[in-house]
């Protein structure tokens, strides 16, 4: 409905599928999409005098440069890629280098003068000018492309395998390469690709390209001849840089100012590297039998990398007088950055010269070939538990401050004194006070820091040679570097990334070194000034024995051959900047939360709003009080007064909403494709930058991948499931939760309509739950990778909204699961209102900070956000999309997922300490061994103090039923045997085991429940397809309790099961057409209805309790019922200690006397959640003697 003061629209019903967006006009001149358009220009070339260049050492036997033909000057071409918002990337043809990467200093700043250095920061290290880059010979490879083979080759020895057709054997061509890094060859050698002039071409996009958000680009080409720096074979190498706005901010010029929550801008620099082996002219006939020459196509290795040093801090943080090593420098370099290697799964240890040992250490596993593990000096990178801990910590959340990472590395790995390491980092100098602290007595530490190769992913060799066009789907998020409001995420197709923290820039401290001058407003570069994230294949991986080191071989350097002559490597740099200043806390997805202010709101004090009739409210509490609804700020959480609120909303959408796409979208069906397309882009960004949602679990026959589940809340007819969740081809199952029965009934036909234009063939199954959000309970058997909540959250009160989000949080898959909240919002475009109350449909449109406040109260934090969805009508409320995950860091409960919010701080600290301890045998965190127990407490004690508890059962065929069971607290202690908080956990373990094996154990079987207690096992057996269930107990009071529970379940399940009425005697009920007879029966005395010898399965829950029940009568009863060899008894046993004997041994002894065999069910065959090591499942059968 239209609002008199604000004509923006919103969906009229509670089901998700409704609302549209407002796309405010940009404050910049031109159309709103202009910031997405990149342009490229060629700047004035730089002409340098060759005599000014530092001479290259003439000690290489493979020098291919003809010095007699060297001209007196060299022309270096310079280019600049620009975005409208002031971002520029400067490139030059010397080494195909990135010489500048400038972003606006001020948030939301737009500079039309792209040379205005005072208003931009350069986030890459470099030289003051291109001429300086030339004259210095760039010994530290600042910004350049390195190759032909990046990283190290041991001893400069290259052996290229050459197959011999005649003998079907392989020979090796040996080449000596220049050793320019101690005993080894580094980054292509003496000259490499980094000091060569590349050909350059400016690629200008067409109007059509701009419409599709394609970028302007510069492509560099280098023809590397045969023998170049000693490498065999001629290769043509291309490096194509493209600058564009990224998918994170399609609406970047919409400068909505919402209560200090400003949307960060985002840009994308994509680098595509290709190489092709050149086929030489055919040799003369006389040379057919000669050894390989330049006229023969020679095989060659290729491994290209971009070697930019990144520093995201503002340039004016540098110390202009940094040559004084006795004082604390004001420029921390990268030490105040955080680094999160969220795309890495292991690393390759190296020796003391930087050469890999050929082992791969996967985090959480033991290294391959562990018995051959390398040892070496403390600075060697040898694989130790300490080293693995440091490397593994960089892959975990929250991300580690680089200062802390390097402190740990210096102390624990380099074995340096802690005080000396701290002082070195503080001064950014290896010159520190001596240990004796004598005046003027200084000592110099050896360089230390990260220079390690991390494993990005497990990859088959075939992936390295994609055939055909570019395939960006092979890109994997690798790492995220963050500082304040800036965040750089690197993604790549390569299997490794070399992380280098500029440990050897200490030579740049010398003020007399003219090659070490820096860019304007930078101090002289020092150690840890920048960080390189060099995506590449593994170092020194040309020669790998696949039999001995199969894991290391997965990252092997590519060999170009006539049969496979091409190479391709894509690197993508996504930069977010200009949002509100943030802390470095991170989400479970592993990146710092730069989309929100430094902390979410802690209260709603001072917030104002209005309703659709124009009334104003001076607080959130006043608004809720006007609706007779309890607000979240009150300590009283009694929700009984919310009934009228929900009835009003329910009646509205029952009356107004047809079971059609137009009905659930309130007349906006044509907008559905635009909305779904925006949601797909959001999911793509969520995967690319945070590793969430879009990646399908790897599967193989020996180790099947676990199933992945998603849930659509307020699903309506399943629009989001059909248009988004199923086409992702990620989820094995999608659950649809919808309160309106007629919409949910229509969902299967809508989703699976094969004649529809938008039909998607998918193996995903769907399950349907008719429930309001305030009453929804998460499943017990599985967790969700994704919970999607869209255009339905507005109907919840604050108290219920927080409780609902908490349940969603607890239902997420640990470390990976995410909640996506997509709702209308207010409070943008300078508005002061934080809420708009709709009096007709009983809903509240909230501001972004209001939504974030509720999420924070539920223990969630923001992972990723897009403030507004573009391309939707302007007269509607804006629609932000937020990805939420459980809090981590200081605000989180613990890394142990089962800890509840009520766990004491001391307990959380204890369990957190266990995370840092390792088991002596496995090397894994000790917390893993108690994880199962902690998870068990989550369900075991959930209803221990309640008079009743809910039970949810899966019946297969996409059907779930639920009912409530009454229990008597302290029943065992007060004479009401078989009930109480200490008994029901064993019954839950039993029925969840039966649920998992229902077809084999119960379907079509006659079951007898001995010592039924609450009767929950009997009810479950009927739901699982039993032919008949006899529910028995020996205590009259317990029989009455079981009878009441069966009758109540019969009534609640009547619609689904077509249950008949109880019999005249009131003891027989029918659930899903299965008769349940409730009667009194003493173990071993008398018979049950239908006879004792006509039983297929006997069910016993937690009845082996010697202090309460003698064991012998129970065994006697089993002896009567298990007359047939096919009959089976299934018992749950909760172990309790008795001084006289172990009840398990006594039960087995008595059973053996009766010729009954007892088998304990392995934990692997029990339910994943409802299982614990102190509750066992026994299978008892008649032993047939030969």
Q: Which residue has the higher pLDDT, 286 or 330?
A: 330
Mean pLDDT of all residues in 449-472 = 57
- At 463 the three-state DSSP class reads helix
pLDDT at 265: 75
Assess contact for 191 and 147: CB atoms under 8 A. Answer: no
State the pTM of this model: 0.53
Residue 910 has pLDDT above 90, yes or no: no
Separation of alpha carbons 17 and 823, rounded Å: 10
Separation of alpha carbons 776 and 322, rounded Å: 61
Look at the chain and count its residues: 1186
Residue 394 has pLDDT above 80, yes or no: yes
pLDDT at 887: 85
pLDDT at 14: 31
Residue 1161 has pLDDT above 90, yes or no: yes
pLDDT at 931: 52
pLDDT digits (tens, 9 = 90+) for 210-244: 444 456 899 999 999 999 999 999 999 999 999 98
pLDDT at 386: 62
Assess contact for 426 and 399: CB atoms under 8 A. Answer: no
Mean pLDDT of all residues in 864-891 = 78
Separation of alpha carbons 563 and 228, rounded Å: 22
Q: Which residue has the higher pLDDT, 346 or 262?
A: 346
Separation of alpha carbons 554 and 537, rounded Å: 9
Residue 399 has pLDDT above 60, yes or no: yes
pLDDT at 964: 83
Q: How confident is the model at residue 704 (pLDDT cuts 50, 70, 90)?
A: low
pLDDT digits (tens, 9 = 90+) for 1076-1089: 999 999 888 888 98
Give the number of other Cβ atoms within 10 Å of residue 681's Cβ.
Answer: 17
pLDDT at 1034: 86
Residue 190 has pLDDT above 80, yes or no: yes
Please state, for a pLDDT cut of 90, what percent of the chain lies above it: 40
3-state secondary structure 87-127: CEEEEECECCEEEEEEEECCCCCCCCCCCCHHHEEECECCC
Output Rg (C-alpha) for the chain, integer angstroms.
35
Single out the residue of 649, 915, 638, 693 nearest to residue 791, CA to CA.
649
Single out the residue of 363, 381, 382 nearest to residue 373, CA to CA.
382
Residue with token string 């029965």: 741
Q: How confident is the model at residue 579 (pLDDT cuts 50, 70, 90)?
A: low
Question: For residue 148, is the peptide bond before it cis, meaning its omega torsion is within 30 degrees of 0?
Answer: yes
Single out the residue of 465, 147, 160, 159 nearest to residue 298, CA to CA.
160
Q: How confident is the model at residue 1093 (pLDDT cuts 50, 70, 90)?
A: confident
Separation of alpha carbons 458 and 553, rounded Å: 10
Mean pLDDT of all residues in 830-857 = 88
Q: How far is CA 658 from the centre of its chain?
A: 37
pLDDT at 979: 53
Range with lowest mean pLDDT among 1-15, 597-611, 780-794, 1034-1048: 1-15
- At 620 the three-state DSSP class reads helix
Residue 668 has pLDDT above 90, yes or no: no
Question: For residue 398, is the peptide bond before it cis, meaning its omega torsion is within 30 degrees of 0?
Answer: yes
Residue 783 has pLDDT above 50, yes or no: yes
Residue 181 has pLDDT above 80, yes or no: yes
In sequence order, the 6+-apart residues with CB closer than 8 A to the CB of 488 are: 123, 310, 312, 480, 481, 482, 573, 574, 575, 576
Q: How far is CA 470 from the centre of its chain?
A: 25
Residue 27 has pLDDT above 70, yes or no: no
Question: What is the token pair recorded at 236?
Answer: 């043509």
Give the number of other Cβ atoms within 10 Å of residue 864's Cβ.
Answer: 25
pLDDT at 1: 25
DSSP type of residue 725: I
- At 533 the three-state DSSP class reads strand
pLDDT at 298: 86
pLDDT digits (tens, 9 = 90+) for 197-215: 999 999 876 655 444 445 6
CA angle, residues 875, 879, 883, in degrees to nearest 5: 175
Separation of alpha carbons 1018 and 1088, rounded Å: 15
Backbone angles phi, psi at 649, to 5 degrees: -65, -40
How many Cα atoms occupy the beta-carbon half-sphere of 789 within 13 Å?
25
How many Cα atoms occupy the beta-carbon half-sphere of 1080 within 13 Å?
8
In sequence order, the 6+-apart residues with CB closer than 8 A to the CB of 69 are: none
Mean pLDDT of all residues in 316-322 = 36
Range with lowest mean pLDDT among 256-260, 747-751, 774-778, 1004-1008: 256-260
Q: Is 13 left (phi over 0), alpha (psi -120 to 50) or beta?
A: beta
Largest CA distance in the chain: 114
pLDDT at 166: 59
Separation of alpha carbons 159 and 407, rounded Å: 39
Q: Is 815 left (phi over 0), alpha (psi -120 to 50) or beta?
A: left
Range with lowest mean pLDDT among 13-17, 433-437, 725-729, 819-823: 13-17
How many Cα atoms occupy the beta-carbon half-sphere of 1153 within 13 Å?
8
Please state, for a pLDDT cut of 70, what percent of the chain lies above it: 68
Range with lowest mean pLDDT among 358-362, 491-495, 663-667, 902-906: 902-906
Q: How far is CA 1165 from the centre of its chain?
A: 29
Q: How confident is the model at residue 1148 (pLDDT cuts 50, 70, 90)?
A: very high
Residue 978 has pLDDT above 90, yes or no: no
Q: Which residue has the higher pLDDT, 1009 or 654?
A: 1009
Question: What is the token pair recorded at 23?
Answer: 């796309």
Residues facing 221 on adjacent strands: 199, 238
Question: E strands within 980-1127?
Answer: 1006-1010, 1028-1033, 1068-1071, 1074-1080, 1097-1101
pLDDT at 595: 38
Separation of alpha carbons 542 and 881, rounded Å: 46
Residue with token string 């490879």: 141
Backbone angles phi, psi at 1152, to 5 degrees: -65, -35
Burial (0-12, 13-18, 19+ Cβ within 10 Å), 1058: exposed
Single out the residue of 695, 576, 584 nearest to residue 340, CA to CA.
584
pLDDT at 692: 67
Separation of alpha carbons 1172 and 1116, rounded Å: 28
Assess contact for 1178 and 1160: CB atoms under 8 A. Answer: yes
Single out the residue of 841, 836, 839, 849 nearest to residue 876, CA to CA.
836
Separation of alpha carbons 26 and 251, rounded Å: 9
Residue 515 has pLDDT above 50, yes or no: no
Separation of alpha carbons 1054 and 1060, rounded Å: 8
Burial (0-12, 13-18, 19+ Cβ within 10 Å), 435: exposed
Q: Round to the nearest angstrom and report the end-to-end CA distance of the chain.
A: 81
pLDDT at 331: 82
Residue 623 has pLDDT above 50, yes or no: yes
Per-residue CA distances from 487 to 484, 701, 794, 863, 929 (Å): 8, 39, 32, 13, 36
> To the nearest whole number, what is the mean pLDDT of the chain?
76
DSSP type of residue 457: -
Q: How confident is the model at residue 336 (pLDDT cuts 50, 70, 90)?
A: very high
CA angle, residues 70, 75, 76, in degrees to nearest 5: 120
Range with lowest mean pLDDT among 68-82, 279-293, 836-850: 279-293
Residue 66 has pLDDT above 50, yes or no: no
Residue 450 has pLDDT above 80, yes or no: yes
How would you classify the pairing of strands 709-713 and 733-738?
parallel
pLDDT at 779: 80
Residue with token string 């065929």: 957
Q: Which residue has the higher pLDDT, 951 or 1097?
A: 1097
Q: How confident is the model at residue 918 (pLDDT cuts 50, 70, 90)?
A: low
pLDDT at 233: 93
pLDDT at 571: 96
Helix, strand, coil percentages for the chain (3-state, nearest 5): 25, 25, 50
- At 210 the three-state DSSP class reads helix
Mean pLDDT of all residues in 661-688 = 85
Assess contact for 1186 and 1128: CB atoms under 8 A. Answer: no
């Amino acid at each position: 409905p239209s609002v008199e003061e604000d004509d923006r629209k919103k969906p009229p019903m509670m089901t998700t599928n409704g609302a549209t967006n407002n796309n405010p006009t940009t404050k910049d001149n031109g159309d709103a999409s202009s910031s997405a358009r990149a342009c490229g220009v060629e700047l004035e070339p730089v002409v340098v005098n060759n005599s000014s260049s530092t001479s290259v050492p003439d000690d290489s036997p493979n020098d291919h440069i003809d010095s007699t033909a060297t001209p007196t000057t060299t022309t270096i071409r310079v280019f600049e890629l620009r975005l409208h918002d002031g971002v520029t990337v400067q490139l030059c043809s010397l080494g195909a280098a990135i010489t500048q990467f400038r972003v606006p200093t001020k948030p939301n700043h737009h500079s039309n003068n792209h040379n205005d250095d005072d208003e931009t920061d350069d986030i890459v290290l470099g030289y003051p000018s291109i001429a300086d880059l030339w004259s210095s010979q760039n010994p530290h490879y600042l910004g350049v492309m390195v190759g032909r083979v990046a990283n190290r080759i041991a001893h400069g020895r290259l052996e290229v395998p050459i197959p011999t057709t005649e003998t079907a054997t392989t020979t090796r061509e040996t080449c000596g390469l220049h050793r320019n890094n101690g005993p080894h060859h580094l980054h292509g050698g003496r000259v490499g690709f980094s000091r060569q002039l590349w050909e350059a071409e400016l690629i200008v996009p067409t109007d059509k390209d701009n419409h599709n958000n394609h970028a302007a680009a510069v492509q560099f080409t280098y023809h590397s001849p045969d023998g170049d720096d000693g490498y065999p074979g001629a290769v043509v190498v291309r490096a194509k840089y493209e600058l564009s706005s990224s998918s994170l901010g399609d609406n970047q010029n919409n400068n909505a100012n919402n209560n200090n929550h400003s949307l960060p801008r985002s840009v994308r620099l994509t680098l595509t590297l290709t190489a092709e082996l050149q086929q030489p002219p055919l040799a003369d006939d006389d040379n057919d039998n000669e050894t390989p020459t330049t006229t023969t196509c020679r095989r060659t290795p290729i491994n290209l990398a971009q070697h930019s040093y990144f520093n995201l801090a503002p340039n004016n943080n540098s110390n202009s007088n940094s040559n004084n090593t006795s004082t604390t420098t004001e420029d921390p370099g990268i030490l105040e950055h955080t680094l999160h290697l969220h795309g890495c799964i292991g690393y390759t240890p190296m020796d003391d010269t930087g050469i890999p040992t050929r082992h791969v250490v996967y985090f959480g596993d033991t290294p391959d070939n562990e018995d051959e593990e390398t040892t070496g000096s403390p600075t060697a990178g040898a694989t130790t538990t300490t080293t693995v801990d440091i490397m593994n910590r960089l892959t975990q959340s929250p991300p580690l401050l680089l200062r802390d990472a390097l402190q740990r590395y210096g102390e624990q790995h380099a074995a340096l004194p802690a005080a000396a390491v701290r002082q070195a980092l503080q001064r950014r100098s290896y010159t520190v006070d001596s240990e004796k602290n004598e005046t003027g007595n200084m000592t110099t530490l050896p360089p230390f820091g990260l220079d390690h190769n991390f494993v990005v992913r497990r990859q088959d060799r075939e992936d390295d040679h994609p055939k055909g066009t570019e395939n960006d789907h092979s890109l994997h998020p690798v790492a995220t570097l963050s500082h304040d409001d800036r965040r750089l995420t690197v993604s790549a197709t390569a299997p490794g990334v070399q992380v280098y923290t500029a440990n050897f820039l200490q030579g740049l401290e010398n003020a007399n070194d003219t090659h070490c001058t820096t860019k304007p407003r930078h101090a002289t570069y020092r150690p840890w000034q920048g960080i390189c994230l060099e995506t590449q294949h593994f170092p020194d991986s040309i020669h790998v024995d696949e039999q001995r080191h199969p894991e290391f071989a997965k990252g092997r350097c590519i060999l170009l051959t006539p049969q496979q002559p091409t190479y391709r490597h894509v690197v993508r740099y996504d930069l977010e900047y200009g949002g509100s200043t943030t802390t470095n806390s991170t989400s479970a997805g592993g990146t710092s939360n730069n989309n929100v202010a430094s902390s979410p709101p802690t209260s709603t004090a001072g917030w104002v709003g209005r309703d659709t009739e124009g009334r104003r409210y001076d607080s959130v509490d006043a608004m809720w009080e006007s609706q007779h609804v309890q607000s979240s700020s009150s300590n009283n959480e009694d929700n009984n007064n919310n009934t009228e609120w929900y009835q009003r909303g329910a009646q509205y959408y029952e009356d107004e909403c047809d079971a059609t796409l137009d009905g659930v979208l309130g007349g906006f069906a044509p907008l559905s494709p635009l909305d779904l397309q925006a949601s797909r882009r959001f999911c793509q960004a969520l995967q690319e930058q945070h590793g969430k949602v879009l990646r399908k679990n790897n599967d193989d026959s020996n180790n099947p991948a676990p199933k992945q589940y998603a849930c659509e809340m307020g699903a309506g007819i399943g629009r989001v499931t059909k248009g988004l969740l199923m086409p992702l081809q990620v989820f094995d199952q999608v659950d649809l939760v919808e309160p309106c029965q007629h919409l949910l009934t229509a969902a299967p036909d809508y989703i699976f309509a094969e004649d529809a234009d938008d039909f998607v063939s998918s193996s995903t199954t769907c399950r349907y739950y008719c429930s309001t959000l305030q009453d929804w309970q998460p499943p017990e058997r599985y967790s969700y990778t994704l919970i999607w909540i869209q255009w339905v959250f507005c109907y919840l009160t604050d108290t219920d909204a927080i409780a609902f989000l908490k349940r969603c949080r607890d239902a997420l898959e640990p470390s990976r699961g995410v909640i996506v909240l997509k709702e209308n919002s207010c409070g943008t475009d300078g508005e002061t209102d934080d809420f708009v109350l709709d009096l007709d449909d009983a809903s509240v449109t909230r501001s972004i900070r209001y939504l974030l406040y509720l999420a924070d109260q539920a223990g969630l934090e923001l992972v990723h956000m897009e403030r507004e969805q573009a391309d939707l009508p302007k007269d509607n409320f804006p629609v932000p999309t937020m990805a939420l995950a459980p809090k981590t860091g200081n605000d989180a409960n613990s890394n142990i997922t089962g800890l509840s919010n009520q766990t004491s701080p001391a307990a959380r600290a204890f369990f957190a300490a266990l995370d840092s301890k390792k088991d002596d045998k496995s090397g894994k965190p000790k917390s893993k061994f108690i994880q199962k127990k902690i998870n068990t407490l989550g369900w075991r004690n959930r209803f221990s103090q309640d008079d009743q508890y809910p039970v949810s059962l899966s019946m297969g065929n996409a059907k779930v039923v639920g009912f409530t069971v009454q229990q008597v607290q302290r029943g065992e202690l007060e004479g009401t045997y078989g009930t109480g908080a200490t008994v029901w956990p064993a019954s839950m373990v039993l029925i969840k085991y039966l649920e998992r094996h229902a077809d084999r154990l119960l379907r079509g079987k006659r079951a007898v429940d001995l010592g039924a207690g609450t009767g929950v096992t009997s009810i479950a057996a009927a739901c699982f397809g039993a032919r008949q269930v006899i529910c028995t107990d020996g205590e009259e009071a317990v029989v009455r309790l079981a009878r009441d529970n069966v009758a109540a379940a019969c009534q609640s399940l009547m619609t689904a099961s077509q249950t008949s009425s109880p019999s005249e005697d009131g003891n027989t009920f029918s659930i899903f057409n299965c008769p349940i007879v409730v009667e009194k029966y003493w173990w071993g005395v008398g018979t049950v209805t239908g006879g004792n010898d006509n039983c297929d399965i006997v069910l016993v829950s937690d009845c082996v309790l010697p202090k309460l029940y003698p064991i012998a009568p129970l065994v006697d009863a089993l002896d009567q019922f298990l007359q047939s060899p096919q009959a089976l008894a299934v018992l749950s046993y909760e172990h309790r200690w008795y001084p006289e004997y172990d009840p398990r041994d006594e039960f087995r002894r008595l059973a053996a006397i009766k010729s009954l065999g007892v088998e304990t069910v392995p934990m692997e065959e029990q339910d994943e959640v409802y299982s614990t090591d102190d509750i066992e499942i026994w299978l008892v059968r008649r032993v047939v003697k030969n």
